[in-house]
Structure 1
């Protein structure tokens, strides 16, 4: 019997189980995930399709708080910002949507789209003073969602309203962070890279003002050479593995830890590993950095 013929019974067996599952009332998602895993192992689903289907099923278990950009990392339009300052923020951050804060900088009162600012620039003959005077005309009303909002429902709302950003509020109505439709989609399909994301081959990218963006795949030895640190590479080859060990769990985006004189914030991560880290000098040193991490408290992140 040929290899192709010998493999047919197992494939038919899996397809029969799949047919039986969907012909009956489905009560257990774990059963579906198990079948998808078997299909992946039997090479009936490639790696990308498997993870997308897995992500689509598991996304309903996640909430806005799990993937939001924390308030401390939000790039916002502050009271009194002139158009020139706003343009600088757009260029530096490469974002397309920006929360607009109220007069005392405690609440979000609107959302500014970069494309709306371009339209205003043309209508104002590219005069900064005229643009600043008319900025309120192009600020859109914000959409607020609770931290507990499930991602599958949030994605549905994004699609129905054609809105791409929501402000996440805590139980007291305060701003906890923000979430975008791209954030939700990345939980399903994985990271969506665009032309503004740093290239993976640039392991350490200087952002200015003492800030760095570091690939989690950077060798610990290379990290030590660049930052003049002495982190041990006996157990972990990459800085991502080292930082994950210090956390004691796989951290999510926005989680922070201080190691030696350096403060690490998870910039990008998926359900398998850290991808990018934001690194700044903390000014604090621990005598045994790999054993005594400083986890940022909620107050430090606000």
Structure 2
């Protein structure tokens, strides 16, 4: 039988080791990657720097590796405490009260020295703790290498059940940066506007051209022509100074028309001065084409390099998908910018709900989540999907084609009538709810209440 003194010191040792491992676990969750890198570079120990590099390659994996021995230490602390209490009481086998007293005492000690104190250490000295004990973190990680496949297996199952994609190192750094910004906002160092701007800048890495472009159906473009009257008429109706020019189809963009280039031509610069007739193609500038999948950050670098403010967006088949401008990128960071040439109008798609008729008039470009927010009042929830974002996309995906005006499609509790449509898209729809109306209960007054009211009169 182990002496009581030995049991006491085993419990204390396991409690201390569990506290250190808890501090390391919380430190790996709270620390700043850049702070740990700077600390390792400043201290100058080659072995510690190597440990830090390995830890930063898989922070979550090292945190998991530290968690298992921490749990084991806490369990040994509790068991040793129970046996020690029994030994002090002179019992060879722990009795019920020995277990109660031992577990209660161990729980309090583990809560204080295995949770409260380690969490405080991690809050105020996360990087220093992780650096100083980096050798122990690595030892736990290496010692559990045979178990890594089991950990990855269950991690993958949980990730798929949650519908999440595998996180990259860049995403982890981005999440860490945003957590720091949010904490600074709570402390009053940033206001909401500044926080939103920082978040927008950080997200530029993952935001694609497709997400901010003007779709093809809303692009104002000019058909190639040498009729100066048609060109000037188009300019009067347009709200833009840079206009794509196509030949026959929007898939055949031949260049970019800058109004200032026409002004130079009209002023006698170039071909007009030589007495040549107007030819639109002669004053066009080359069009820049970018893929839908290009990130905004890459697009910004290319626009700056090419010294242009506008680019055509090409889809995977080589057709024109839309148009993107430098202003679109700026608005992604600073929000909507209204210049003096833009018409001040509400660009939000119209969703007009008539609760009495249990129907709604909806612009098909309205996003599904926007529509559902309004349609809940008439008992309708449109299904969301990965293949579409808008009400029009839902209809086209359901039918497998673009419907004509007058057609009707039933989706769940909604009967959708096509009110406006073009050969290439759905414009406006009328939705009628088939959901059961909520029951209205009318409570009749009790006889004595009715009598009382009659007397009052």
Same fold (TM over 0.5): yes
1:257 aligns with 2:383: no
**Shift in CA distance, 285/81, structure 1 to aligned 2, threshold 3 Å:** farther
Length-normalised TM-score, structure 2? 0.43
> Paired residue for 2:198?
53
**Shift in CA distance, 214/145, structure 1 to aligned 2, threshold 3 Å:** closer
Q: How many residues align?
A: 235
Q: 2:297 aligns with which of 152, 163, 182?
A: 152
1:120 aligns with 2:249: no
Q: 1:300 aligns with which of 391, 401, 425?
A: 425
1:243 aligns with 2:371: yes
> Paired residue for 2:331?
186
Instruction: Kindly state the Cα deviation for residue 188 of structure 1 after the two structures are TM-superposed.
Output: 1.6
Deviations 1:42-64 (A, max 9, x none): 22112221111110110110111
**Shift in CA distance, 294/68, structure 1 to aligned 2, threshold 3 Å:** farther
> Paired residue for 1:261?
none
**SS of match in other structure, 2:205:** helix
Q: 1:185 & 1:107 partners in 2: Cα distance? A: 28
Q: 2:235 & 2:35 partners in 1: Cα distance? A: 53
> Paired residue for 1:38?
183
The answer to which structure has the higher strand fraction is 1
Aligned Cα root-mean-square deviation (Å): 4.4
Q: 2:414 & 2:183 partners in 1: Cα distance? A: 39
Instruction: Kindly state the Cα deviation for residue 103 of structure 1 after the two structures are TM-superposed.
Output: 4.5
Range that drifts further, 239-248 or 109-118: 239-248
Q: 2:383 & 2:226 partners in 1: Cα distance? A: 41
Q: 2:408 & 2:265 partners in 1: Cα distance? A: 48
Instruction: Kindly state the Cα deviation for residue 196 of structure 1 after the two structures are TM-superposed.
Output: 2.8
CA contact (8 A) 2:315 2:321 kept: yes
Q: 2:413 & 2:321 partners in 1: Cα distance? A: 30
> Paired residue for 1:86?
231
Q: Which runs of 5+ in 2 are unaligned?
A: 1-30, 40-52, 57-168, 362-366, 376-381, 393-404, 427-457
Instruction: Kindly state the Cα deviation for residue 149 of structure 1 after the two structures are TM-superposed.
Output: 0.8
CA contact (8 A) 2:313 2:321 kept: yes
> Paired residue for 1:202?
none
Q: 1:294 & 1:185 partners in 2: Cα distance? A: 39
Deviations 1:126-159 (A, max 9, x none): x9xx897232221001111111111101011112
**Shift in CA distance, 240/132, structure 1 to aligned 2, threshold 3 Å:** farther
Larger radius of gyration: 2
Q: Which runs of 5+ in 1 are unaligned?
A: 1-15, 200-204, 206-212, 233-238, 259-281
The answer to which structure has the higher helix fraction is 2
1:224-235 to 2 correspondences below 5 Å: 231=360
1:20 aligns with 2:148: no
Q: 1:195 & 1:154 partners in 2: Cα distance? A: 26
> Paired residue for 1:135?
280
Q: 1:102 & 1:175 partners in 2: Cα distance? A: 13
Instruction: Kindly state the Cα deviation for residue 104 of structure 1 after the two structures are TM-superposed.
Output: 5.4
Q: 2:33 & 2:281 partners in 1: Cα distance? A: 55
CA contact (8 A) 1:83 1:132 kept: no
Q: 2:322 aligns with which of 170, 174, 177?
A: 177
